[in-house]
Structure 1
Amino acid sequence: MSECPDNALARRPSERDTLNAPWWKGAIIYQIYPRSFQDTTGDGIGDLKGIIKRLDHIASLGVDAVWLSPFFKSPMKDYGYDVSDYCDVDQMFGSLEDFDRLVERAHALGLKVIIDQVYSHTSDEHAWFTESRESRTNPKADWYVWADPKEDGSPPNNWQSVFGGTSWKWDARRQQYYFHNFLPSQPDLNVHNPEVQDALLAAAKFWLDRGVDGFRLDAINFAMHDRQLRDNPPSGLPMDLVTRPFDMQRHIYSMSQPEVPAFLERIRALLDTYDGKFTVAEIGGPDPIDEMKRFTEGDSRLNSAYSFDFLYAKSLSPDRVARSLNQWTGTGSEGWPSWAFSNHDAPRAVSRWAAAGDRKQAADLLLLLLLALRGNAFIYQGEELGLPQANVPFEHLKDPEAIANWPRTLGRDGARTPIPWEADKPHAGFSAGEPWLPVDPGHVPLSADLQEADPGSSLNVTRSLIAERRKWPALRLGSLRFLDAPEGVIAFERTLESQTVLCVFNVSDTIRRYMPPEGNALAVVAHERGSAVDKPSVPGQLEPWSGYWAVGQAHEN
């Protein structure tokens, strides 16, 4: 893609304009789900050596960092989010030496490395839990959440787990119930206990000392519970919207407790003893914005947070985008948001939001939109290939949530299938053996090797758009202001000093007309069917699933 022309009104700020911003502010971060990225041993499971093999592919996109989902030692009942040793690599993924080589190679390619940290719960095979369940008086007796039964033998309260059913499991050794927000094999840590916090911080330090550049904190708002164990009130959700008992409660006592930010300050204090580290929180729940702001407020808590605003959205509309983005004003001590349209926990956005015939165009346009939002952009593996949600037959499902709630939810397996690398190789080049999840035949024509040679492929569009974004600091750090636009059209301006980028997107399946504010039609990166191209002027007609960035002067009301 050729460079946009320079223009007196569209000053391109020099590199020194953004030198004061930390590397992570406005960063583009590529998420890797290790099990499904690249297998080098033939066992059908991706591994750390496979990630090393494909780091050149990631670096070629122009992203700033990679985020690795868990690769720690685990019985894999929740595929790595049930950690049995925070400070070791599960042998199916490789070794600590492999991880060190991964960090070294990533850094050589200019990529930062972010890893998951799961602080709300462990596996029931973790040594801490093994000791805790032995008695009520052992040194780790209070490291997990234990409670006596009611007089009738029933659980201590009405809390429901994410994966279905009561959040309490009886343990005969202690003659008590233990609490689990997720699977019964994932007991919740008692993070109120300072000794537990110390142990988690020691695990964080272990990885920081190995060179990681930061953490994504999994389900961190689940990390503490109401110590009075009060019942959750009903949610009042209509039954036709309920997929599991968890949906029928407002989880005001089983998660999201006011003590969590003080623990986050301890995490931040540790990271501040190193240079240039980054933290981002995953915040689930129906109304996460207050927590996201509390968790990222000021300079003593986390750097950023993301929610499921877009990840669970069944459709995309201008109102939804405005509602999410307008919650972050950039004023006062407010933190910095992050955004994801797809990840390992949600069906792929292009399948949720676009009809099958529009998915190539929609995949490219959604990337144009994601890269224009104020905040950090998370790209999930396969988004750069335009992968739709894979079809995984029931008999091949692995996700415990999908199995428990089938067929009411799509589950997560369809977003976790292996990446297609080479179309003419077995299992699309992911593995020489049978993959842990099947490769969708519909993904093979979208394999990376076939897209390399096609200038209009989603892969090359991704590279072009990321390269173009780097030229315009307003897209990375600028303020955001929404503009009036026709139905189905998103229009906003990103402004930094004297530079403004007009961002326009038709997210409908109908042709729309939009005339930009006078003075903005200066230099355009347009997204048309099949390619990302420079155009000499702003188009007045927007094809379905098309849009552009137009660089020019700020529009005054």
Structure 2
Amino acid sequence: MRAEAGADVPTGAESSALTQSPSWLRGAALYQIYPLSFRDRNGDGWGDLDGVLEGLEHVASLGVDGVWISPFYPSPWKDFGYDVADHRAVDPRMGSLATFDRVVERAHGLGLKVLVDLVCGHTSDAHGWFVDSRRSRSGERADWYVWADAKPDGTPPNNWLSVFGGAAWTWEPRRRQYYLHHFLSSQPALNLHCKAAVQAVCDTAAFWAERGVDGFRIDAVDFFAHDPELRSNPPALWSGAEPPLKPFALQRHVHDMMHPSVTAVLARLRATIDRYPGRVLLGELSSQPGAGQRMAAYCTPHGLHAAYTLSLAKQPFTAKGFAQALTGTPRPEAICWSLSNHDVERAASRWLPPNADARDFNALLAVLMASLPGTVCLYQGEELALPNAVLEQHQLRDPFGITYWPDFAGRDGSRTPIPWRADEPNAGFGGGEPWLPVVDAHVPLAVDRQERAPDSPLALWRTALGLRRNHAALSTGTVGAVEERGGVLAFERTEGDERLLAVFNLTDQPAEHPVRYKGELSPLALPRAPGAGTPELSADGRTLILPPLAAFLARRGSVG
């Protein structure tokens, strides 16, 4: 494999042009739109940009600050949008560039910022860049992807594994070399040690910035760069009677990803978008160990404005897990919290305690998310308290889920269409046969029904997000005094003279929490499910008594 030197960190005038994080992202609430499942307006069974356009008023009514729109680019749809065949166009089934421009204009008219996915680390094998690269070893784009010769026995150059299963290398007969793919074999990895490839990615960011987007959600940042020497990964230590379901977990991923030159690639992207005032970079980190340290390394004036990882979402729902997430990085204000998204089971199902009331749990999640520092991001349908859809094997579309069925059902359960109108075909998603089914459990939770119910999950989420918007301590304040006791999580949020105590009982059993303040606590009115219990202070004011799945927010006095 030939590779030029990696993208260098900007110096001189270029470095001085870099600015601190724009204020709009810190403390903001975002809403992720997965357009394939948001709304279908042309009747072909696939969500589209006209559907996004039609649903923006609903999104704005939640009180969020911006939308993140998942891929809508031309694609063979083998990984449902994340296998991009053209970074600077709209897939015909999704609309056109003119449709996209109308989405941006309408979003801005509603006061919403717009982030789009920037898939920098890989493309589809149908992308023109890859078609050129695989043609020969000497073309203009010959080094834009990660190519390597076979070992003398014809096997791949090392032991790297794909996240989706099997070797991370596929033989390409035209070049008589292997190419690297971290995911599907149809998603070849870009070689971001190559300056020309990095420049092409930066030019793509500039293309969309010129069209008015306010920033980018950058996919799979940790996979941007690998060890140029292609050394094999060492084995991981694991214990148990059986090996893990996914062989990717059998390695320590110290050479195939998370190479230090990731920061240099981010610096080139940051230098590009800093030419457009107010644009931001929000990066997705993997769940590999050390995410907090990488977040601090990546979120700098030369890199990302904020980052998130699904590490928390892949853990049990415990006070300890949240406390570790809050204290696991020196820059909690740079975290973007996402409890659900298109890659994991919905939190309403994944974390629901066995004896819990789903309505109480939804209210707890809403207040908890609204109280977290940094940025928060709702996934479409979360405001409706949608449970994860249960699908039959023949209904699956996700190649990841198909590979590991039935032990792992994949990602389709969180990607089914949003129910808009309960009494219409396909719950108002669209007239054609949906690409994934509208499940019966979702129909009663349709938007139109919840709009008519003042105590619906939708109403609770609006109230919780309103609290975040109206209290600077919750949106832009610092976080401190993080504590976990059994199943209770507590922390403080402070901004100026406003000091708030936040306490959450994450269990389905009553709990108590000691109060260590001399001053009085003034509880805030919180959204609660019908019939839910209310936290109370003991007669001496020293103990907070919490019903199951209860949230408590209060202005507080001086520390005792």
Task: Give me the TM-score of the superposition, normalised by structure 1.
Answer: 0.92
1:392 and 1:289 mapped to 2: Cα distance?
Answer: 34
**Corresponding residue for residue 553 of structure 2:** 549
Q: 1:536 to 1:358 in 2, by over 3 A?
A: closer
**Corresponding residue for residue 4 of structure 1:** none
Residue 21 (structure 1) shift? 6.7
Pair 1:74-2:72 in alignment = no
Q: 1:534 to 1:508 in 2, by over 3 A?
A: closer
Q: Is the 8 A contact 2:41 2:48 kept in 1?
A: yes
Pair 1:347-2:345 in alignment = yes
Pair 1:525-2:525 in alignment = yes
**Corresponding residue for residue 476 of structure 1:** 475
**Corresponding residue for residue 209 of structure 2:** 208
**Corresponding residue for residue 337 of structure 1:** 335
Residue 541 (structure 1) shift? 3.0
Q: Which runs of 5+ in 1 are unaligned?
A: 1-19
Match of 2:294 among 283, 291, 294: 291
Aligned residue pairs: how many?
532
1:527 and 1:110 mapped to 2: Cα distance?
Answer: 25
Structure-to-structure mapping, 1:182-201, within 5 angstroms: 182-201=183-202
Residue 407 (structure 1) shift? 1.8
Residue 189 of structure 1 aligns to a residue whose secondary structure is coil
Residue 502 of structure 2 aligns to a residue whose secondary structure is strand
2:144 and 2:317 mapped to 1: Cα distance?
Answer: 43
Deviations along 1:45-89, whole A, 9 cap, x unmatched? 110000110100000000000001100011010000000000000
1:109 and 1:35 mapped to 2: Cα distance?
Answer: 22
Q: 1:515 to 1:91 in 2, by over 3 A?
A: same
Q: Is the 8 A contact 1:67 1:113 kept in 2?
A: yes
Q: 1:146 to 1:329 in 2, by over 3 A?
A: closer
Deviations along 1:4-61, whole A, 9 cap, x unmatched? xxxxxxxxxxxxxxxx971111100000000000000111111000011010000000
Q: 1:416 to 1:384 in 2, by over 3 A?
A: same
1:458 and 1:122 mapped to 2: Cα distance?
Answer: 38
Q: Is the 8 A contact 2:333 2:478 kept in 1?
A: no
Pair 1:91-2:92 in alignment = yes
Residue 486 (structure 1) shift? 4.5
Residue 550 (structure 1) shift? 1.1
2:544 and 2:264 mapped to 1: Cα distance?
Answer: 51
Residue 530 (structure 1) shift? 2.8
Percent identity at matched positions?
A: 45
1:321 and 1:203 mapped to 2: Cα distance?
Answer: 36
1:387 and 1:310 mapped to 2: Cα distance?
Answer: 20
1:520 and 1:21 mapped to 2: Cα distance?
Answer: 36
**Corresponding residue for residue 50 of structure 1:** 51
**Corresponding residue for residue 374 of structure 2:** 375
Residue 294 of structure 1 aligns to a residue whose secondary structure is helix
**Corresponding residue for residue 162 of structure 2:** 161
Residue 350 of structure 1 aligns to a residue whose secondary structure is helix
Alignment-mate amino acid for residue 33 of structure 1? Y
Alignment-mate amino acid for residue 296 of structure 2? K
1:309 and 1:209 mapped to 2: Cα distance?
Answer: 34
Q: 1:518 to 1:353 in 2, by over 3 A?
A: farther
Alignment-mate amino acid for residue 154 of structure 1? T
Q: 1:534 to 1:319 in 2, by over 3 A?
A: closer
Residue 482 (structure 1) shift? 3.1
**Corresponding residue for residue 147 of structure 1:** 148
Alignment-mate amino acid for residue 530 of structure 2? G
Alignment-mate amino acid for residue 339 of structure 2? F
2:474 and 2:275 mapped to 1: Cα distance?
Answer: 30
**Corresponding residue for residue 268 of structure 1:** 270
Residue 285 (structure 1) shift? 3.1
Residue 311 (structure 1) shift? 1.9
2:375 and 2:482 mapped to 1: Cα distance?
Answer: 22
Deviations along 1:287-338, whole A, 9 cap, x unmatched? 12222111113x121101111122212x2111111111012344xxx87111
**Corresponding residue for residue 326 of structure 2:** 325
Residue 72 of structure 1 aligns to a residue whose secondary structure is coil
Deviations along 1:194-228, whole A, 9 cap, x unmatched? 00011111111100000000001100110111111
Residue 536 (structure 1) shift? 11
Residue 85 of structure 1 aligns to a residue whose secondary structure is coil
Q: Is the 8 A contact 1:417 1:437 kept in 2?
A: yes
Residue 281 (structure 1) shift? 0.7
**Corresponding residue for residue 13 of structure 1:** none
Alignment-mate amino acid for residue 112 of structure 1? K
1:494 and 1:141 mapped to 2: Cα distance?
Answer: 52
Q: Is the 8 A contact 2:348 2:362 kept in 1?
A: yes
Residue 402 of structure 1 aligns to a residue whose secondary structure is helix
Q: Is the 8 A contact 2:506 2:549 kept in 1?
A: yes
When the two chains are superposed, the root-mean-square deviation of aligned CA atoms in Å is 2.0
Residue 524 of structure 2 aligns to a residue whose secondary structure is strand
1:68 and 1:405 mapped to 2: Cα distance?
Answer: 28
2:476 and 2:420 mapped to 1: Cα distance?
Answer: 34
Residue 526 of structure 2 aligns to a residue whose secondary structure is strand
Residue 554 of structure 2 aligns to a residue whose secondary structure is strand
Q: Is the 8 A contact 2:367 2:526 kept in 1?
A: no
1:534 and 1:194 mapped to 2: Cα distance?
Answer: 58
Structure-to-structure mapping, 1:488-527, within 5 angstroms: 488-514=487-513, 516=515, 517-527=517-527
Alignment-mate amino acid for residue 38 of structure 1? R
Deviations along 1:247-299, whole A, 9 cap, x unmatched? 111111111111110111111111111111111110003212222111113x1
**Corresponding residue for residue 5 of structure 1:** none
Residue 459 of structure 2 aligns to a residue whose secondary structure is helix
Residue 227 of structure 1 aligns to a residue whose secondary structure is coil
**Corresponding residue for residue 8 of structure 2:** none
Task: Give me the TM-score of the superposition, normalised by structure 2.
Answer: 0.92
Q: Which runs of 5+ in 2 are unaligned?
A: 1-20
1:470 and 1:536 mapped to 2: Cα distance?
Answer: 25
Residue 485 (structure 1) shift? 5.9
1:237 and 1:406 mapped to 2: Cα distance?
Answer: 22
Q: Is the 8 A contact 1:293 1:335 kept in 2?
A: no
Q: 1:520 to 1:265 in 2, by over 3 A?
A: farther
1:363 and 1:155 mapped to 2: Cα distance?
Answer: 48
